[in-house]
Amino acid sequence: MQGLDIPSVKIIHHEKTDNPKVLKYTYFDTQTGLKDYFYSHQKVNHIPNLPGTLFLTIDDNQQKKFFFYFSHSLHEFYLKEPVKFEEPLEKETIKTKLKRTVIKLAHQQIRKLRERGLSWKEIRDFCGVSEWTIRRWNKKEENKEKKKPGRKPKISGNNLFLLESCATTFRGFTQQWISKYFSIKIGKPISQPTISRLYKKYGITRKTMASHYSELEPLLERIKPFAELIKSLPPTQLLAEDECAFYLNEAPRRGYGWKGERVISWKPGNFKVRYTLMLCIKNVEKGGVIHWKLIEKGAKAKDFYDFIECLPASDWNYLLLDNAKIHHAVGACKKLGLLSIKRLLFSRNILPFYLVAYCPQLNPVELCFCFLRGFVETNQPRTFEELKLIIEKGVEELQKKDMTKYFRHCLNYDFSKNEQVNWIM
């Protein structure tokens, strides 16, 4: 077994062989312009028309070339001379079948040609079809309904009403389960591809379900009056605050890779310490982040007390808060010899407005946390210092964003469109 290194090649195409586990790849050397081929037991990941370095092994007995490794990134390292040939010297000859031109005539046109004295043969030569085709065109078409091309649909008529239950009652089930459900209801076997085609035809798509807490359902009537009350307040004096947990094992949830291969992201499995980010924003177009603080473990009443003291105290502001215990702390502050949270807020010219319970959709800080979490997952910090530095950079990006859009989105959130909502028990 010998090795062969080719500094610069372009893989043209591949084809199947008699052995279903072996593929035959055709390539050409960009330095010589000659075409050749090799065999591979796996799919070779490559970008068409982009040169790369190819490593092959040659069988001693049959002198066949087998694939070992291919890389586009190693091309500039191994290639010492510029590419000489962009296309192979031997061009592939593809036999193309000439299409004949057919001129189709209507019944009235054929009748006028016949009245002028043209024979069936002359009309046939003019149209480029047989005489029997001309005679068939000459027949008057009867006014009858034409059948739609294709096979008869398996699910039609009243059975289509079952699709409504798929988009409402069974929205969280798989297409395989839905196919079994249809088979039982209709009394004949229905496959999963049939369900997939039905979904595509009638506009039923798979979406990310918006999760709402089931405890929120009896409180839906309170949301609209609360949102209208917040909208009536001066917009530039609106604040919002919340907390979010971060860990040192964050990693991207999605990534790109070659088709058919698994995309792997390595992250530590031993993570015990939780870090809490406290964030306060204002309803302005730029510079909306008022204050932020990253602390170790969960936030307590003293941490929230110190955070409030750092907020600016000028004109009256209105602060949106959720119903966490530290936002109502009285006893914990009393033990520390501090004012209660509400009294502290009043002393800072801040009037608190507590959100409807189990309704984080009304808090615009949640959208900021979504942005920061994606920022952290991309950079993958593994120490507290790295996490703090990355969040600081993320906050700098948030300062450039229009926070009025975040507030408008949350206060106009439509809870009536609950067809795609998953109620969490």
Are 113 and 184 in the same domain? no
Residue 283 pLDDT class (50, 70, 90 cuts): very high
Q: Give the pLDDT score at 58.
A: 87
Q: Specify the pLDDT at position 232.
A: 93
Query: 63-72, 100-109, 230-239: which range is least confident on average?
Result: 100-109
Q: Quick one: pLDDT band at residue 80, thresholds 50, 70, 90?
A: low
In this predicted structure, what is the pLDDT of residue 334? 92
Kindly state the percentage of the chain with pLDDT values over 90. Answer: 39
**Domains held by the chain: number:** 4
Same domain, 7 and 53: yes
Rounded Cα distance between 292 and 294, Å, is 7
Is residue 144, in this structure, part of any structural domain at all?
no
The more confident residue out of 299 and 31 is 299
In a domain, 362, yes or no: yes
> Mean pLDDT in the chain?
84
Interval 233-256 mean pLDDT: 91
- Residue 100 belongs to some domain of the structure: no
- Partnered with residue 70 across adjacent β-strands are 54
- The reply to whether 184 and 267 lie within a common domain is no
Q: What is the pLDDT of residue 96?
A: 56
Q: Do residue 196 and residue 220 come from a single domain?
A: no
Instruction: Quote the pLDDT of residue 71.
Output: 86
What is the average pLDDT across 179-203?
Answer: 87
Predicted local distance difference test score (pLDDT) of residue 347: 92
pLDDT digit string (tens) for 127-142? 888 888 877 777 754 4
CA distance 408 to 222: 18
Q: Among 178, 201, 224, identify where a domain stops.
A: 201
Residue 404 inside a domain? The answer is: yes
Identify the CATH number of the domain in which residue 314 sits. 3.30.420.10
Same domain, 345 and 271: yes
* Same structural domain, 188 and 322: no
Confidence of residue 251 (pLDDT cuts 50, 70, 90): confident
- Domain match, 164 and 312 both: no
Domain check: are 275 and 194 in the same one?
no
User: Are 47 and 10 in the same domain?
Assistant: yes
**Tell me, what's the pLDDT at 98?**
61
pLDDT digits (tens, 9 = 90+) for 310-365: 998 778 899 999 999 999 999 999 999 999 999 999 999 999 999 999 999 999 99
Give the mean pLDDT of 241-260.
Answer: 89
Over residues 222-243, mean pLDDT: 93
What's residue 147's pLDDT?
60
Domain membership flag for residue 101:
no
Question: 85 in a domain, yes or no?
Answer: no
> How far is Cα 392 from Cα 273, in angstroms, rounded to an integer?
20
Asked which of 57, 78, 99 is the last residue of a domain, the reply is 78
Q: Quick one: pLDDT at residue 25?
A: 92
107-116: average pLDDT:
79
Most confident of 85-89, 245-249, 417-421: 245-249
On whether both 189 and 219 belong to a single domain, the answer is no
Say if residues 308 and 344 touch (Cβ distance below 8 Å): yes
Range of the domain at 225: 214-424
Q: Does the pLDDT value for residue 394 go beyond 80?
A: yes
Query: Which of the listed residues 78, 94, 124 is the one where a domain comes to its end?
Result: 78
Q: What is the pLDDT of residue 132?
A: 81
pTM metric for this prediction: 0.68
Residue 84 lies in a domain: no
Residue 127 lies in a domain: yes
The CATH number of the domain holding residue 70 is: 2.40.50
What SS3 string covers the chain? CEEEEEEEEEEEEEEECCCCCCEEEEEEECCCCCEEEEEECCCCCCCCCCCEEEEEEECCCCCCEEEEEEECCCHHHHCCCCCCCCCCCCCCCCCCCCCCCCCCCCHHHHHHHHHCCCCHHHHHHHHCCCHHHHHHHHCCCCCCCCCCCCCCCCCCHHHHHHHHHHHHCCCCCCHHHHHHHHHHHHCCCCCHHHHHHHHHHCCCCCCCCEEEEHHHHHHHHHHHHHHHHHHCCCHHHEEEEEEEEECCCCCCCCCCCCCCCCCCCCCCCCCCCCEEEEEEEECCCCCCEEEEEEEEECCCHHHHHHHHHCCCCCCCEEEEECCCHHHCCCHHHHHCCCCCHHHHHHHCCEEEEECCCCCHHHCCHHHHHHHHHHHHHHHCCCCHHHHHHHHHHHHHHHCCCCHHHHHHHHHCCCCCCCCCEEEEC
**Are residues 54 and 182 both part of a single domain?**
no
**Is the same domain home to 334 and 416?**
yes
